[in-house]
């Protein structure tokens, strides 16, 4: 329980206008973007505007042993920012300065509250990009994105957030500030603490400054949409493209349920009898893009794919609109959309898709699957209604099955959404007992009192 003394001290440290205790304000921080999660109202919400203020908050939390939940925009999809043990919610969105764009070293230094799109806008003038591009790029913060190690549509070629974080400033659970990594391309000093904190979901420390790697913006890009009557053909095309030494920036898949739903929603002229659609984009130097596009087209044709190639920016937009419509179209079918994040080696995509079809049938559920085929990261989306208790039971069983299959196929529980609360119970299936103990040991070492985002990933 948080005492009025703690609130008084928070007000003393931050000023009244950065400390929220009204029930209505607190209610607005009782949830995040994850469906089917408990709603928990925090006891106080604070909005620091500097590292020093954030440090004061961590110190107060440590002194009074109060749970501290750090969050950005709250767009995460694993329950990672829900204040499950109440306590303090620390919102980082007001620490939103881009501190430096260093074009010579191809780095940017930002505060955690910077919106990813804003960073991209700021570096565009230098001809650079920050490649991780989660679907929430226009709303998600850099801090949240680093904490969750988010991915995105360009993951196949460009990787995920951890591949771009070079240095961090972190407030530890005891209130002390540590720095790790930096601007050097080569840095092998001691343990890789940067990688440890990236994806730690706020359980090991509070990130207050981030140095990221930037890359030159691709000069050209080419997009195509390929329609397949058979799932196996689509799968062969996916592996065929990569076997032909082409790594597309984006290689997305939509299954039949998704195709039908998108078509019904947006009427963009998709064939509703197709088993799968691939959306492919290659980017880079114009000559290379041409060559790679040719290879992609050839492979798709060889595998009975029907092709639509964008010739103009407008046509490219049209192709991507179908993918952008996937989630909204599915989401509009019913009140609740349970969006999962199962990931398999890309060669196992057809097996995974077939398994998902079986699971949908077994539990009599509608599951639309789309996602990042090129990197094996699928988003089976279960269309349901939270208020239907009987159906939700089946949903939970289906989710159990989905992760069991993904792991059996040599996959992982998360490609980009993290573990949070949502996938805790499966963690041991992936990590094993020894692995879980190692995770716990790290948590205990860095946060012995279990104050930082408690209740997420592993219990101490």
Partner 1 sequence: MAYYDSLDNVRAEITRCMKCGNCQAVCPIYKEVLGESGVARGKIQIAKDLLEGELELTDKMQDIFSLCLTCKACAANCPCGVQPDKIILAARAELVRKKGLPGLKRQIFGVLGKPQRFKLGMGMAAKLQGFGLKKIPSSNAAHPRFPIGIDTRRIVRPLAKQSLLSRLPEVSKVSKPKQRAAFFTGCMLNYMYTEAGKAVVEVLNANDVEVITPKSQHCCGIPVFVHGDVKTAKAIAKYNLDIFAAGNYDAVITHCGTCIGAWVQHYPELLLDDAKYSKLAEQMAAKAYDVSQYLIDKVGLKEPTGQVAANATYHDPCHMVRGAGIAAQPRQVIESIPGVTLTEMQKPDRCCGGAGSFSLTHYPLSSQIRDKKIADALSVKPDMVLTSCGACRMQLEDGLFQAGSDVPVKHVVELLAEAYVKGGGRDSGQKTG
Residues that bind partner 1 (CB under 8 A): 20, 22-25, 27-35, 47, 73-75, 91, 93-94, 96, 113, 115, 117, 136, 138-139, 327-328, 331-332, 335-337
What is the closest distance, in whole angstroms, from the C-beta atom of residue 138 to partner 1 in the complex? 4
- Identify which of residues 29 and 363 has a Cβ nearer to partner 1 in the complex: 29
What is the closest distance, in whole angstroms, from the C-beta atom of residue 11 to partner 1 in the complex? 17
What is the closest distance, in whole angstroms, from the C-beta atom of residue 332 to partner 1 in the complex? 6
Cβ proximity of 86 and 218 under 8 Å: no
Cα atoms found within 13 Å of the Cα of residue 422, Cβ hemisphere only:
28
Cβ proximity of 207 and 170 under 8 Å: yes
Residues 6 or more apart from 448 whose CB is under 8 A from it? Answer: 173
- Identify which of residues 110 and 180 has a Cβ nearer to partner 1 in the complex: 110
- Identify which of residues 43 and 292 has a Cβ nearer to partner 1 in the complex: 43
What is the closest distance, in whole angstroms, from the C-beta atom of residue 196 to partner 1 in the complex? 27
SS3 4: helix
What is the closest distance, in whole angstroms, from the C-beta atom of residue 26 to partner 1 in the complex? 9
SS3 446: helix
| CA geometry: angle 222, 156, 345, nearest 5 deg | 135
Cβ proximity of 164 and 213 under 8 Å: yes
What is the closest distance, in whole angstroms, from the C-beta atom of residue 326 to partner 1 in the complex? 10
Q: What is the distance between the alpha carbons of residues 283 and 216, in angstroms, rounded to a whole number?
A: 12
- Identify which of residues 318 and 408 has a Cβ nearer to partner 1 in the complex: 318
Sign of torsion over alpha carbons 195, 198, 204, 207: positive
- Identify which of residues 147 and 296 has a Cβ nearer to partner 1 in the complex: 147
What is the closest distance, in whole angstroms, from the C-beta atom of residue 44 to partner 1 in the complex? 14
Nearest 10 degrees: CA dihedral of 90, 96, 101, 102?
-30
**Looking at the DSSP assignment, which residues form a beta bridge with residue 207?**
170
What is the closest distance, in whole angstroms, from the C-beta atom of residue 35 to partner 1 in the complex? 7
Nearest to 244 by CA among 295, 199, 202: 295
Q: What is the distance between the alpha carbons of residues 94 and 114, in angstroms, rounded to a whole number?
A: 8
- Identify which of residues 136 and 200 has a Cβ nearer to partner 1 in the complex: 136
Q: Which pair of structure tokens corresponds to residue 414? A: 């998360």
- Identify which of residues 80 and 167 has a Cβ nearer to partner 1 in the complex: 80
Q: What is the distance between the alpha carbons of residues 356 and 81, in angstroms, rounded to a whole number?
A: 28
Cβ proximity of 345 and 334 under 8 Å: no
E strands along 34-96, which residues? 44-46, 68-71, 88-91
What is the closest distance, in whole angstroms, from the C-beta atom of residue 255 to partner 1 in the complex? 19
Counts for the chain of helices (H) and strands (E), in that order: 15, 18
- Identify which of residues 239 and 334 has a Cβ nearer to partner 1 in the complex: 334
- Identify which of residues 67 and 72 has a Cβ nearer to partner 1 in the complex: 72
């Amino acid at each position: 329980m948080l005492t009025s003394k703690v609130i008084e001290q928070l007000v003393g440290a931050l000023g009244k206008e950065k400390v929220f205790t009204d029930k209505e304000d607190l209610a607005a921080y009782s949830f995040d973007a994850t469906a089917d999660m408990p709603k928990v109202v925090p006891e106080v919400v604070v909005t620091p505007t500097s590292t020093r203020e954030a440090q004061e908050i961590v110190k107060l939390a440590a002194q009074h042993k109060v749970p501290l939940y750090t969050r950005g925009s709250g767009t995460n999809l694993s329950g990672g920012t829900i204040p499950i043990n109440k306590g303090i919610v620390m919102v980082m969105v007001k620490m939103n300065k881009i501190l430096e764009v260093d074009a010579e070293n191809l780095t940017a230094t930002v505060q955690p509250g910077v919106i990813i799109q804003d960073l991209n806008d700021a570096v565009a003038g230098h001809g650079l990009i920050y490649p991780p591009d989660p679907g929430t790029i226009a709303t998600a913060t850099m801090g949240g994105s680093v904490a969750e190690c988010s991915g995105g549509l360009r993951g196949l070629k460009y990787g995920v957030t951890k591949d771009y974080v070079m240095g961090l400033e972190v407030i530890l659970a005891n209130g002390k500030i540590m720095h790790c990594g930096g601007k050097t391309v080569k840095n092998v000093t001691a343990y890789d603490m940067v990688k440890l904190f990236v994806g730690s979901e706020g359980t090991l420390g509070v990130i207050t400054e981030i140095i990221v790697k930037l890359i030159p913006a691709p000069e050209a890009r080419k997009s195509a949409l390929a329609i397949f009557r058979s799932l196996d053909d689509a799968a062969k095309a996916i592996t065929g493209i990569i076997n032909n030494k082409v790594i597309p920036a984006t290689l997305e898949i939509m299954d039949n349920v998704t195709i039908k739903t998108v078509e019904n929603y947006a009427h963009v002229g998709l064939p509703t009898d197709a088993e799968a659609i691939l959306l492919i984009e290659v980017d880079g130097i114009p000559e290379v893009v041409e060559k790679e596009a040719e290879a992609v087209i050839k492979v798709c044709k060889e595998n009975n794919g029907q092709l639509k190639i964008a010739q103009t920016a407008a046509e490219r937009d049209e192709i991507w609109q179908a993918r952008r419509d996937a989630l909204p179209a599915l989401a509009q079918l019913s009140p609740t959309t349970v969006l999962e994040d199962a990931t398999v080696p890309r060669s196992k995509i057809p097996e995974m898709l077939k398994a998902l079809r079986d699971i949908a049938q077994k539990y009599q559920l509608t599951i639309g699957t789309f996602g990042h085929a090129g990197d094996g990261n699928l988003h089976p989306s279960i269309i349901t209604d939270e208020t239907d208790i009987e159906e939700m039971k089946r949903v939970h069983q289906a989710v159990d099955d989905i992760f069991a299959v993904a792991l059996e196929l040599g996959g992982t529980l998360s490609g980009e959404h993290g573990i949070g609360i949502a996938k805790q119970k499966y963690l041991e299936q992936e990590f094993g007992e020894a692995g879980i103990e190692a995770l716990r040991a790290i948590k205990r070492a860095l946060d012995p009192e279990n104050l930082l985002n408690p209740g997420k990933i592993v219990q101490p």
